[in-house]
Amino acid sequence: MSALAFQIVEANSSNELSNVISDYVAGEQFQSDKWNKTVLIAHDNHHDEESWKDYCSTAEEDQATRREAQGEQIKRTKAGKVVASAAFPKTWNTDKAIIGKALHEGVSLVDADGEPKAKTALQTEYREAAADDKVEKPAYEKITTVINAYQTLYRQLENDSERQTIKDIMDAFHASV
């Protein structure tokens, strides 16, 4: 099987998210509301970011095991963990990440009526929440970061002439402030 062809397995797992992943794997062959189902599973099970990651890993393992039982080879890490980006469609991986980011930012997955929010609406909300939480670093921390980078790059200079030029630039800077 090519890297982009995924085997369809029957959606009869005891893991409800694994069953939804079957819908993602089936793709356009079967019309289903994968996004809404996935959102409602995350919402109804009261997942936070960490429990969502764990739940997804368990469902992905269930899917991978079922597909391997049908002869498909699933890419895994050396530790035996499923490589989701290779084993599942991009849509699944994207949707899983969007939900995870929303959970991380504390954004509700559903609207006031309990209906799943659209992907773009959810993305907009969690990006705004992240921007609101972003704290501007003080100048001292920014300068420290620049100096650390400067030290690393200075050591990479090739000859004394380059080092002297940089030293002269820095001396002129300090003399002017």
Residue with tokens 């991978």: 64
Same domain, 145 and 126: no
Query: 76: helix, coil or strand?
Result: strand
Same domain, 76 and 120: yes
Tell me how far CA of residue 82 lies from CA of 50, 56, 59, 68, 76, in angstroms. Answer: 18, 11, 11, 11, 4
Query: 116: helix, coil or strand?
Result: strand
Q: What is the DSSP letter of 117?
A: P
Considering the entire predicted model, what is its pTM? 0.63
Query: 74: helix, coil or strand?
Result: coil
Report if residue 1 sits inside a domain. no
Straight-line distance from the first to the last Cα atom of the chain, in angstroms, rounded to the nearest whole number: 65
Same domain, 52 and 108: yes
**Number of domain units in the chain:** 2
Domain that holds residue 82: 16-133
Same domain, 67 and 145: no
Same domain, 69 and 127: yes
How high is the mean pLDDT in each 10-residue block of the chain (177 residues)?
55 77 65 84 94 95 93 94 93 95 95 94 92 80 88 87 90 88
